[in-house]
Amino acid sequence: MAFDENELVYLEDANGKRSWIRVSYGMIKAQSLGAIDGSRFKDLNEGDKVTIVGRDYRVFRPGVLELMESLDRGAQIISPKDAATILMHCDIKAGDRVIEVGAGSGGLTTALLHAVAPTGKVLTLEYKEENALRAKKNVSRVGLDRYWEYQIGDARDMDVDADWQADALTMDMPDPWLALSNLEKHLRSGGRLCAYVPNMNQAESIVNALREHQYSNVYALENMQRGLEVHPGGVRPSFEMLGHTGYLIFARKTSN
């Protein structure tokens, strides 16, 4: 399918390096590539080769993985491996309403918005204005801001719009058990919850709190991800792996 004007795409060279551009049928200024004649994109399809300043590139539309990897980062983001697990275990899909605690740089926010669009909504509760503004910049860049709103405050005691009833609640904060009583009234019965914490003592505290609040299907896990080195004549596991990033605690709200 041909590329539309104002569409965000990336050019990938033979080494996998990406250059991001917004399509225009006029002249495009691309960082590190100079000026590009955008009229060439009228006749290109995704995956086609384009030669710029003597170098060959392939042009692609980004998926959520590439969008997360290209964020302007400040605070640490939830990694794609963990974000994918959150989306699956919380059953987040188009049309859902999600409350997210902790914007960070907008990594999980991007994945959530991509999943709930075009008929769902994400409300992010963020303690630091600078994080919310960075997340806003990132989700606006890819046009997902139309499905997003945010509030600044402390999730442990802030007022959330009473009309907000969520299908899922995600909490990326040091002490999610302290925000549970304040936020769970905005999670529908049967709705799914995920808490993301870096340390075992935090995982223990939120698991105990969820059990005390009579949540069902309470369980915790962590993801380990290791690539493969594939070469002619041999394949082996990579010596490097994406190990511990955080513990993921999941549960479902009951009607008590």
Q: How far is 219 from 192, CA to CA, in rounded Å?
A: 12
Closest among 248, 180, 165, 182 to 211, alpha carbons compared: 180
| Residue 247 pLDDT exceeds 90 | yes
Kindly provide the residue ranges of all beta strands, DSSP E only, lying in the chain, ordered along the sequence: 8-12, 18-22, 27-30, 34-37, 49-52, 55-60, 97-101, 121-126, 148-152, 166-172, 187-197, 216-221, 225-231, 234-242, 247-252
Q: How far is 36 from 180, CA to CA, in rounded Å?
A: 52
Chain length of the chain? 256
Asked whether 245 and 194 are in contact (CB, 8 A), the reply is no
Give residue for tokens 């669009």.
117
DSSP for residue 4: P
Q: How far is 182 from 170, CA to CA, in rounded Å?
A: 14
Q: How far is 102 from 80, CA to CA, in rounded Å?
A: 16
Q: What is the DSSP string of 67-105?
A: HHHT---SSPPPPHHHHHHHHHHTT--TT-EEEEE--TT
Residues 202-214 have pLDDT tens digits of 999 999 999 999 9
Segment of 61-65, 96-100, 159-163 carrying the highest mean pLDDT: 96-100
Query: Residue range 11-30: average pLDDT?
Result: 86
Query: Residue range 33-53: average pLDDT?
Result: 84
